[in-house]
């Protein structure tokens, strides 16, 4: 089920419709400086998101959720994913399973309380 989330783009913040697959793809673009070539040629093969970077779906939805959570934990120095404060990361809404940090209207923005 897609959600609306305010996330970084090459030109600034933008409200976009995301699912887990799109969120991973956007995170890869963010990591690579928004370069499709850099995403395709990514050298970080140990990254949990590496298999998904080209919008492929090599694993089940449950495994994808686990990989997102593992990546998020790594990103915040192996702390609990609920401690993440990067609300504009495309993975932010999916950092925990199941999604439990949804605001009342189903839209994540930088003004949401933690």
Residue 112 has pLDDT above 80, yes or no: no
What is the spatial distance between Cα 75 and Cα 38, in angstroms, rounded to a whole number? Answer: 19
Confidence of residue 14 (pLDDT cuts 50, 70, 90): very high
At 63, which helix (H) or strand (E)? helix 61-75
pLDDT band (50, 70, 90) for residue 97: low
Segment 71-93 shows an average pLDDT of 90
Does the structure show a pLDDT above 60 at 59?
yes
Q: Tell me, what's the pLDDT at 105?
A: 37
CA distances from 16 to 19, 43, 71, 87 (A): 10, 27, 21, 13
Written as six digits, the tokens of 94 are 């999916």
Rounded to an integer, what is the distance from CA 9 to the centroid of its chain? 13
Whether the predicted pLDDT of 8 surpasses 70: yes
Extents of the domains making up the chain: 3-100
Say what the pTM is: 0.78
For residue 100, pLDDT beyond 70: no
* pLDDT for residue 28: 95
Classify residue 99 by burial, with Cβ atoms within 10 Å: 0-12, 13-18, 19+.
middle
Q: Which two tokens stand for residue 75?
A: 């990103």
């Amino acid at each position: 089920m897609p959600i609306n989330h305010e996330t970084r783009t090459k030109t600034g913040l933008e409200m976009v419709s995301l699912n887990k697959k799109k969120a991973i793809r956007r995170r890869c673009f963010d990591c690579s400086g928004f370069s499709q070539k850099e995403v395709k040629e990514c050298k970080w093969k140990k990254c949990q998101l590496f298999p998904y970077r080209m919008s492929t779906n090599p694993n089940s939805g449950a495994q994808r959720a686990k990989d997102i959570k593992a990546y998020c934990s790594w990103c915040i120095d192996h702390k609990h994913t609920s401690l993440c404060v990067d609300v504009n990361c495309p993975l932010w809404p999916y950092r925990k399973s199941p999604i439990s940090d949804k605001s009342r209207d189903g839209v994540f923005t930088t003004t949401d309380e933690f």
